[in-house]
A and B are shown apart, each in its own frame.
Chain A
């Protein structure tokens, strides 16, 4: 899986503030192709219309949560290989286990900073573009 600054990234969160923060931090990291969704169902629809190179999703959303979105993505033969990073305030052990079992690529606990975001993206793709 290769990484590039113009790859399509789908960010999913029900808080507009967090979508704006994520978009800005990703822009500061150099990414230029960012799509947004406000919950899992909307994200899934968008992913099926235009596959993305990376999904960065919150967990606690309605009606479809981040973990449900992750399971849907992993169960879909066209989407299952998309890297999926969970960015969430859910920091309990059972959450990490559930996400891992569902096939999450990495896990960021809120609040986070740009460096953590960069490090996790780099970890998922095995490097970060200059």
Chain B
């Protein structure tokens, strides 16, 4: 190894087992320094080691190039923020439309109060159904929030990948934020609804569960 290289000038990769992320450029430099310090030694074991180190060095550069190509800046700078904005606009638009619908339903209720009981009942039942249907806005809003969370999660992971350029890929934590909560799930992890149709429980199933644990 180059004896003139100080730790400040050339940061060393974190030792194995320390749990610290190793930047790919640090790793590259470390390998290059190793090659440089060994290149004058012509013994067969060292020549084999040099060959292996050159292979490692090439592999690191290849991974860096591939990751850079796979994660264009526009994805983080444009596409993800734009998608988040579009989703927020959907929520705003549906909220606005829902309020307009509920305003109209309330007007129907006000008019119903002036009518004969039978007619009144018909109009009130209809307006109640309108209000019930307007719950779609709450459900879609929650679904959009989940998609935005997923986008944020992807963005964070992209940042991490770009920062370390693949050198610590194996150290990345599993995708627990998107997974099923465990039995010891925290309160936050229990906040993952609404479930998709087919996965969501019906009110009857909820009632049965509720009674089972009574």
Interface residues of A (CB under 8 A from B): 13, 15-18, 20-21, 24-25, 28, 59-60, 65, 67-68, 88-98, 100-101, 106-114, 116
Q: Can you list, as one digit per residue, whether each of B113-151 has a CB less than 8 Å from chain A (1) or not (0)?
A: 000000000001000110110111111011000000000
Q: B11 an interface residue at 8 Å Cβ cutoff?
A: no
In the complex, how many angstroms separate the beta carbon of A99 from the nearest chain B beta carbon? 9
Contact status of A107 and B194, CB under 8 A, knowing A21-B135, A94-B181: no
Which residues of A have CB within 8 Å of B75? none
Which residues of A have CB within 8 Å of B185? 94
Name the prevailing secondary structure of the B interface residues: helix
Q: In the assembly, what is the distance between CA of A95 and CA of B183, in Å?
A: 10
In the complex, how many angstroms separate the beta carbon of A24 from the nearest chain B beta carbon? 5
In the complex, how many angstroms separate the beta carbon of B145 from the nearest chain A beta carbon? 9
Q: B191 an interface residue at 8 Å Cβ cutoff?
A: yes
Please state if A111 and B132 are interface contacts (CB–CB under 8 Å). yes
Which residues of B have CB within 8 Å of A16? 95
Closest to A13 in B: B138
* Contacting residue for B193 out of A24, A89, A106, CB 8 A: A89
Q: In the assembly, what is the distance between CA of A41 and CA of B176, in Å?
A: 28
Interface residues of B (CB under 8 A from A): 95, 98-99, 102, 105-106, 109, 124, 128-129, 131-132, 134-139, 141-142, 181, 183, 185, 187, 190-195, 200-203, 205-206, 209-210, 213-214
Contact status of A17 and B98, CB under 8 A, knowing A91-B201, A109-B200, A111-B139: yes
Q: In the assembly, what is the distance between CA of A109 and CA of B135, in Å?
A: 12
Closest to B135 in A: A111
Closest to B207 in A: A107
Which residues of B have CB within 8 Å of A28? 124, 128, 131
Which residues of A have CB within 8 Å of B209? 93, 96-97
Please state if B191 and A17 are interface contacts (CB–CB under 8 Å). no
Q: In the assembly, what is the distance between CA of A113 and CA of B130, in Å?
A: 10
Q: In the assembly, what is the distance between CA of A108 and CA of B201, in Å?
A: 11
